[in-house]
Amino acid sequence: MSEKEETTAAPVVESVHCRLCDGGTMRRALIKPYNLNVGIVLIVAGLLCLATGVLAFFGLLAFLFGIYFVWAKKDVWLCDKCGAIVERI
């Protein structure tokens, strides 16, 4: 009977204990800090302005902001147990 080998080279996973529910483990997660719908509305509005030539400059700004809103992600700690989100500093 051979002894069950333990994997000593555990993967380096950053984790911290949750302070809110006492027992949960927080893991790194990427969340979207902005409302996706707002970004889409901005993109559509921006494209409309650009397409019609009316307020083209505003349209371009709205479009760029929309892209940013949709693509932006935030690196946070997320608790597996209670779902608490803590910003990473």
Chain residues binding Zn ion by CB under 5 A are 18, 20-21, 24, 79, 81-82, 84
Structural tokens at position 66: 């929309």
Min CB(13)–Zn ion separation in Å: 17
Min CB(85)–Zn ion separation in Å: 10
Give 70 or 80: the residue with its C-beta nearer to Zn ion: 80
Secondary structure (DSSP) of 21-64: TTS-EEEEEEE--S-HHHHHHHHHHHHHHHHH-TTHHHHHHHHH
Give 27 or 65: the residue with its C-beta nearer to Zn ion: 27
Give 25 or 60: the residue with its C-beta nearer to Zn ion: 25
Structural tokens at position 49: 């302005």
Give dist(CA 64, CA 58) in Å, integer: 10
Min CB(87)–Zn ion separation in Å: 15
